[in-house]
């Protein structure tokens, strides 16, 4: 069973909760999906049962069409936030990590075409592989964080928080105005351009900054 972990190998003591995600938070990703840039954050939720440890092999749902990876920066919430402003957010972020927002793309396209919610394409069991979290005991440069995803040795995604349409602190505050964030919840902050299909045997590597965090996984 999945449990949040810090990179030092210790448990966080936080039970996994909901995973709040934001769509199209990078303009280049919206463009590659032929989707308009939203006027405000586009939110959706994955259940706690979607979370799995990224260090374990990924298991794609069988017979459900193409499954795409979307690499993202993840925030572990350590304190309750509701109706917060941006200045309230930093003390409530317990850790920084990396995530894959796995998406059943064929199903998502059909759901969008029919005007239906995306949950079955985004919230299936195992749909959110999570790395261990870097424990935050300092204040990072929220607008200067970078992360990279390699697929089979090729750089496929480079994320820079300064390129986000809604910056991290504003994003978390906005989320808290719609859903109370509780300890153990995770926020996924959006994916940069470069998403693509996963195939059996693929090897993925994700890295936060140069040396904060590096995690590898394979598709079973």
Distance between CA atoms of 34 and 12, rounded to whole angstroms? 39
Q: Does the residue 120 lie in any domain?
A: yes
Q: Does the residue 144 lie in any domain?
A: yes
Distance between CA atoms of 87 and 64, rounded to whole angstroms? 42
Q: Does the residue 13 lie in any domain?
A: no
> For residue range 84-140, what is the model confidence (pLDDT) as tens digits?
999 999 999 999 999 999 999 999 999 989 999 989 999 999 999 999 999 999 999
Q: Does the residue 111 lie in any domain?
A: yes
CB under 8 Å to 170, separation ≥6 — which residues?
86
Do 142 and 170 meet the contact criterion of CB atoms below 8 Å apart?
no
For the chain, how many structural domains are there in total?
1
Q: Does the residue 14 lie in any domain?
A: no
Q: Does the residue 25 lie in any domain?
A: yes
> For residue range 164-219, what is the model confidence (pLDDT) as tens digits?
999 999 999 999 999 999 999 999 999 999 999 999 999 999 999 999 999 999 99
Tokens of 39: 């006027």
| Residue corresponding to tokens 């300092």 | 138
Q: What was the pLDDT predicted at 33?
A: 85
Residue 30, SS3?
Answer: helix
Q: What was the pLDDT predicted at 148?
A: 98
Q: What CATH number did the domain enclosing 49 receive?
A: 3.90.850.10
**Cα separations in angstroms, 45 against 49, 98, 129, 167, 194:** 11, 17, 14, 19, 22
Give the global pTM.
Answer: 0.97
Q: What is the DSSP string of 75-93?
A: EEE-S-BSS--GGGSGGGE
Residues spanned by the domain of 40: 19-218
> For residue range 2-39, what is the model confidence (pLDDT) as tens digits?
999 999 888 999 999 999 999 999 988 978 888 888 89
């Amino acid at each position: 069973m999945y449990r949040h972990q810090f990179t030092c190998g210790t448990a966080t003591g936080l039970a996994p909760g909901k995973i709040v995600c934001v769509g199209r938070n990078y303009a280049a990703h919206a463009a590659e999906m032929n989707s308009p840039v939203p006027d405000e954050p586009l939110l959706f939720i994955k259940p706690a049962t979607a979370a799995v440890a990224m260090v374990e092999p990924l298991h794609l749902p069988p017979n459900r069409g193409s499954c795409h990876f979307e690499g993202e920066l993840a925030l572990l919430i350590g304190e309750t936030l509701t109706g917060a402003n941006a200045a309230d957010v930093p003390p409530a972020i317990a850790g920084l990590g990396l995530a894959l927002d796995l998406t059943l793309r064929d199903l998502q396209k059909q759901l969008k075409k029919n005007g239906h919610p995306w949950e079955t394409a985004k919230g299936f069991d195992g749909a959110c592989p999570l790395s261990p979290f870097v424990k935050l005991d300092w204040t990072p440069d929220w607008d200067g964080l970078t992360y990279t995803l390699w697929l089979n040795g090729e750089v496929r995604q480079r994320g820079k928080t300064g390129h986000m349409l809604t910056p991290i602190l504003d994003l978390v505050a906005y989320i808290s105005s719609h859903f109370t964030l509780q300890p153990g919840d995770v926020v996924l902050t959006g994916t940069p351009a470069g998403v693509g299909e996963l195939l059996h045997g693929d090897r993925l590597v994700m890295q936060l900054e140069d040396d904060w965090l590096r995690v590898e996984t394979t598709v079973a």
